[in-house]
Amino acid sequence: METITITVTESGVKGFVWEGMMEEAKTVTENTELLSFEKLQKKLADQVFYRYSSYEQPDSDTTLSRYTVTDAVLGYAYIPAYENPENAWLVPVWYFTVSEGRDGVDWQNIYYLVNALDGRVITGE
């Protein structure tokens, strides 16, 4: 696992340590095509629905829930390599912050990392 530790004070960066730096073994592909944002929106909406459906809200409960995407950033993350989990692939991912709120309940943030190539959720929470 890669770990980057940066020590920052009021006067600026004082230290930088990068442990467990990955070593590139090979390039699988030079170019990739990202999933269209329209398809990605559907994948994210599905994940929010799956989360909501796990609440076991009784039919008689009329509490409304609201979900608002408050941030979306394209970045990169490591995922286990297909059929070779001791290695990792560096893939483009969308980092989504979704604010969730219900009647009378404070808003909370839910974080999703979504693979930008195929729309699979890498993690949620």
Higher pLDDT, 58 or 44: 44
Stated length of the chain: 125
Quote the pTM value: 0.68
DSSP β-bridge partners for residue 97? 71, 111
Give the model's pLDDT for residue 19.
Answer: 83
Whether the CB-CB separation of 69 and 97 falls below 8 Å is answered with: yes
37-57 per-position pLDDT tens digit: 899 999 999 888 887 776 666
Q: In the predicted model, is pLDDT for residue 24 greater than 70?
A: no
Confidence of residue 107 (pLDDT cuts 50, 70, 90): confident
Q: What are phi and psi of 4, to 5 degrees?
A: -115, 125
Confidence of residue 28 (pLDDT cuts 50, 70, 90): low
